[in-house]
A and B are shown apart, each in its own frame.
Chain A
Amino acid sequence: MVSELLASAIRMGLPVLLAALGAVYSERSGVVNIGLEGMMITGSFWGAVGAYYAGPLAGMALAVAASVLMALVHAVVSVTFRVDQIVSGVALNILAYGAARFSSIALFQKATMSPHVQGFTPISVPGLDQVPWLKPLVTNLSPLVVVGFLLVPLSYWVIEKTVFGLRLRAVGENPLAADTLGLKVFHLRYAGVLLSGVLAGLAGAYLSVEHTGMYVEGMTQGKGYIALAAMIFGNWSPVGAMGAALLFGFAESLSFRVVESAVVPYQFIKMIPYALTLVVLAGVLKRTRPPAADGIPYEREEA
């Protein structure tokens, strides 16, 4: 029972986790990425398109490509042109919403959903699937779940132990100092934003291809924003983001059970992730410490 709940929490929390990891890369480089939601929308739609025409792997590839394109727009607007990062992100979300609807009509003759698509063949962890209480956790897994959780230690390692990570953090803390040391501030910030595009695209594709089996308009349900909150809650670290994402996944899977029991009107159950986000942010924010230059466009002195 507990492990089933946990397994469901993992499934529910995965898109938040992936997007939150993306947010970590972007924000550690100093770029606030509220456009995650739009990138996830893009990913969910193009993931379904790719999967529909050429299978799940193509879905992932197409989702990532489309989402990275959105991320590129965000980077151009907010890094190169130094527009307020939140404005840019919000505009991106509006654009993504319209583009998904438009493309959906163009491709599927319907604005709001795609046909059913085939996901990956679920996998099981050999050996562990014999242990009864572990069974729900290690069988019938989407390969993306495995990838997602492997990405957590990988991201930690990249950010904390590699030269790239050190430099990424440097431009997020003090871009001017990084610049004087010859680091390419814009390149690094682009890298952070584009990586967040990759991960948000995967997150969106997971929703449509793996979780639901089709694209439905509005299926991201604000998970991009929740991912941002999860990253804040996790204090801008991959491991912390994982913890927060699991918490949200847990809340969501728990809420599904409550819906089944039909005690509380389901509309209130639907509010839980959002209310939880508010509570979490209200409770935690003082203890966290964002990168010092997070959200501030970098501009070389012109004179």
Chain B
Amino acid sequence: MRKRYRYVALELASPLVAIAFAVLVGAVVIAAIGKNPVQVYRIMFTFAFRRLDSVGIMLFGATPLIFSGLAVAISFRAGLFNIGVEGQYLIGTFLAALAGFALKGLPSFVHLPLVIVVAALGGALWSLLPIYLKVRRGVHEVISTIMLNYIAFSLIHYLIADVFMDKQQGLMPGVGNPLIRLPKIAASALMPRMHGFLALLGVDLPRHVYLNWFFPLGLLLAVAVHYLIWRTAFGYELRAVGHNPAAAEAAGIDPAAVQIRAFLLSGLIAGVTGLSDLLSYFGYMDLDFPKGYGFTGIAVALMGKNSPLGIVLAALLFGFLNRGAEGVQTFAGVPMDTVVILQGVMILSIVVASAVMGRYIRRQERKEALGASW
């Protein structure tokens, strides 16, 4: 049994190996543009961890990634690959923004939850077609969700610029152009920041940090997803279908039904991804609303090996990378996009490391099992 712990340790080692490799590649890239990698990495760390605001911004930055990572992971567990989180959260965010400014006079405890539900439903809505096409027409969800991402971009663009654009922006006459954005969301739908709560704990978060209650909500969701996957009958079916749909089917589980539910669930969670930004930092949706959380979510899910705890850690890591990169860009003149390269390399090396490690572990386990039965 002690061996089991060794396997767990090995299993955990692969993300570390991946990070180390990515750091190495990053160093080469940084050196290639004539900077000193050691110095750059040092700036990254000190900037991210020596300042209280940085820590808060890291958590804020990790928040959407927890949601998108969980969304991707649930689809992965069911043997599906939801690359459509990107489009799903944009649709969810848009509908939330709509419900946020269109409904007025609601008390906060009604309006805010309502907006969150609307966002989730929006995400699920945008995941409906791909899973339908998958189950009924055999269209691979990867291609259909990517197509729907592009369609979502255009659709949102149209809806923001041509249909719902805020025409009453309080601009001083003659100064600049109006922003292409939706009207501002009612205060009753905004998510409170955590400053007050943290102040109770003696932590004084600066004003420019937008860390809000979506972060603890994301943590709670991760716990919920953990229990869903490992402790419910539905989670059991989800995993069964993900590993072997044919055997699940023979056991009376309907793989299509499970996959549909899992994918819609993934869409529901995806839909909420953008809300931490929308309901605290922006307060409205515009054409420059942050994109890419969906794709980064894939990286987060892979880094976290589709386990909720791992996803939280991976999201924090990516939050750190982004914040650190801002520091590096400002103080060392290294482009922020180094981070995207790091992320890409990390995913590739984590999947390779996991594959190699997994095979090794399986071989060891089989040896052990054979030993027991012979």
Contacts and interface: CB of A to CB of B under 8 A. Distances in A.
Nearest to A269: B154
Interface string B109-123: 000000000000000
Interface stretch (A95-103, A159-167, A171-179, A192-200): A95-103
A92 B154 contact: no
Contact of B351 (A77, A101, A102, A270): A77
Interface stretch (B143-151, B177-185, B257-265): B143-151
A170 interface: no
B350 to A, nearest CB: 9
B226 interface: no
B243 to A, nearest CB: 13
Contact of A99 (B150, B155, B344): B344
A105 B335 contact: yes
Contacts of B151: 271, 274-275
B-side interface mostly: helix
B288 to A, nearest CB: 13
Nearest to A299: B359
Contacts of A129: none
B83 A278 contact: no
CB-based closest 8 A-B pairs: A98-B340, A95-B344, A267-B158, A91-B347, A101-B337, A274-B147, A102-B337, A267-B154
Given A34-B142, A282-B137, A285-B137, A102 B335 contact: yes
Interface of A: 34, 73, 77, 81-84, 86-88, 90-92, 94-99, 101-102, 105-106, 111, 221-222, 225, 228-229, 265, 267-268, 270-271, 274-275, 277-278, 281-283, 285-286, 302
A221 B150 CA distance: 8
Contacts of A268: 154, 158
15 contacts: A77-B351, A77-B352, A83-B351, A87-B81, A92-B344, A94-B299, A95-B341, A98-B343, A102-B335, A102-B338, A105-B335, A222-B147, A267-B157, A278-B129, A281-B137
Given A94-B347, A222-B150, A86 B158 contact: no
Interface residues of B, number: 46
Interface in B287-339: 295, 298-299, 302, 335, 337-339
B136 to A, nearest CB: 8
A268 B345 CA distance: 35
Contact of A275 (B146, B147, B343): B147
B143 A277 contact: yes
A285 B339 contact: no
B77 to A, nearest CB: 14
B104 interface: no
Contacts of B142: 34, 86, 90
A82 B155 contact: no
Contacts of B155: 267, 271
Given A90-B83, A98-B344, A274 B351 contact: no
B139 interface: yes
B246 to A, nearest CB: 15
Contacts of A111: 335, 337
B302 A87 contact: yes
A100 to B, nearest CB: 9
Contact of A278 (B81, B147, B348): B147
Interface in B181-226: none
Given A77-B352, A106-B33, A222-B147, A281 B139 contact: yes
A268 B302 CA distance: 34
Contacts of B157: 267
B102 interface: no
B301 to A, nearest CB: 10
Contacts of A228: 143
Nearest to B356: A81
B340 A94 contact: yes
Contacts of A229: 143
Contacts of B137: 281-283, 285-286
